[in-house]
Structure 1
């Protein structure tokens, strides 16, 4: 069921991309052909990850994190990183580009799952439970912020802190440090004119309709125009220069316009189902590392989808986060495919043997609740 839901989302993504990206270039199939190419790579990554024992990633936790941090450093160097829409988020090789932030997502999950599982007996210590994990998170967050990529920073931080909570880290000091970090992000936003203008546009979209709220207003018009059953596949009007990034971050409004409210709700239910099934995989994992790894991957995918839904419906200020499996983007699709493969391996391993009778990272939290 889990694999079937992912395949449905990917198929829907290719179909909607064919419609949403058609006005972008003279070749209406340009983005679709590239997405299908990346989809083949993503499927290969998922198959390899599904066949590789997830405990192997314990040995990769530090190396993959070091590589990820290195890429986040060099992407900010002018002449190496590619500047697009005012941000250094891409590295290019030949005719292809990728986002180091996508690698950072999986690197943080693996590193935190390894660290928290390894230090379960000493997780209540301030150094091992609070100081070191927050220092690691701070390194990733700082490099993501200076790209700047506030959306991915908030996503990665949310997932990491949630993993710490379920890993048994003391709640009070974690909240204090978490709120301190959040305050720092708020200060940076207040000093950033671009981000402040987005917040003002979010608070009063009608006033800034011709400026920063252009995407939001036209996104809402797309949902309103689709009504219950939609205007029909391929018949969107908002994709014709009215809704920028219609094939990437704002592809969900095209679904709402062309296929209607019912189809939009079905997509939301599919992501909710992924969340529930991912939690079930995490709870049935055979050891602490598997539980935390599965939980982190589940959160990374579904929370990103939730943020995307919130952005395109005007519930939060605009952020550059794609809709997993549906939005156009090679690096996002390949990394998401790899994470799905890891989840499948965790599930398959737990089916072959019962969970290990060890300290459960969910146990103490369940008792507290």
Structure 2
């Protein structure tokens, strides 16, 4: 019998690791480039945000290494505890959290500020994957099995919106719908779930002046380019000025305190300005390869009687895809500003750490899938070589 906690690091998916490493290295370069001016003004030197990102990378790499050594069965068994931990952290941030830019989303820890919403994304995927495995037949036949999800996810959404964190709420709702669809829930259930969620989110926008201003801003930022449309208009100028080949690494003009949040939410605009559309195509192609590989891993891990592993990888892939789509869309003026980072590239310690943790989960599941397949192939061969079971 194979010990599930034993692990051969040489058996990891090298292609997936290389893609993530390429994105992380690119992210470090862009964090350094995009944050020099704001770091100099706020902290008196140019390295502040870069150093913090490197520190988060070290912690995230350690987390990923630990996660890789944990059997997926352990995540399945304790999924409820991880989800409850996420809810507790979301409640604590409302009480003890640090407020930045009118939002209370960060818990001040000894070495860094941690954003519990980033962990909540992972906890949601684990919890939902376990629920869908346990109730997979009911989800396909009984609407009440889907409706029961409203209580835990309603509490989570409420805590997120109190911060407020509208972007993460929308992203998790998208992951929820995507995982239900993959698990085989009938289309009519999506009407039951999506319409009320959509109506609630629309009502929150209409009844919130600052959210409504964001909607009107993205629809026509040039109406007030020096007021509410300033951030988006500066981002569009950065993207447009990049041209085909860009101004060169480190040569962005908009990062020189013209474009707010140039190293976080609007990193894509600075990247497009410095590398041009050729760089943008390269970045999006790298993301496309990463997502394709994760969907391939999920498909290989799919077991009709036990889909937990596959659903976890599908959920992580959907999470990354949604975050990339929203961030790039915000920078291009397609969506209102949501405050979501570009995975592995934008500045954000919590985001980078949890993204690497998620990759650790994917690598572990890919390893287990390949191991189980090789054992299944080897078993008949061993039986044929020793049909009588003679030692």
User: How high is the TM-score relative to the length of structure 2?
Assistant: 0.88
2:23 aligned residue? 9
Structure of higher CA gyration radius:
2
Match of 1:34 among 37, 46, 52: 52
Bigger shift: residues 160-169 or 275-284 = 160-169
User: 1:95 Cα deviation (Å)?
Assistant: 4.9
User: 1:317 Cα deviation (Å)?
Assistant: 0.8
Superposition map of 1:1-369 within 5 A? 1-25=15-39, 26-77=44-95, 80-126=96-142, 129-285=145-301, 287=303, 288-354=307-373
User: How high is the TM-score relative to the length of structure 1?
Assistant: 0.93
Q: In the alignment, is the contact (CA less than 8 A) between 1:284 and 1:355 conserved in 2?
A: no
| Per-residue deviation, residues 204-226 of structure 1 (Å, max 9, x unmatched) | 11012112221111111111111
Q: In the alignment, is the contact (CA less than 8 A) between 2:219 and 2:333 conserved in 1?
A: no
CA distance in 2, matches of 1:346, 1:63: 20
Q: Which runs of 5+ in 2 are unaligned?
A: 1-14, 377-391
Q: In the alignment, is the contact (CA less than 8 A) between 2:97 and 2:104 conserved in 1?
A: yes
- For the aligned residue pairs, the C-alpha RMSD in angstroms reads 1.6
CA distance in 1, matches of 2:191, 2:150: 11
| Per-residue deviation, residues 128-167 of structure 1 (Å, max 9, x unmatched) | 5311123322221121112111111000010011101111
Query: Which is richer in helix?
Result: 2
CA distance in 2, matches of 1:355, 1:207: 62
Q: In the alignment, is the contact (CA less than 8 A) between 1:137 and 1:160 conserved in 2?
A: no
- Secondary structure at the aligned position of 1:113 is classed as helix
CA distance in 2, matches of 1:170, 1:354: 31
Aligned residues: 355
CA distance in 2, matches of 1:95, 1:283: 39
Q: Which runs of 5+ in 1 are unaligned?
A: 358-369
In structure 2, the CA distance between the partners of 1:355 and 1:150, relative to structure 1 (3 Å rule), is farther
CA distance in 2, matches of 1:253, 1:356: 48
| Per-residue deviation, residues 294-338 of structure 1 (Å, max 9, x unmatched) | 100111112101110100011111110000101111111111101
CA distance in 2, matches of 1:240, 1:200: 26
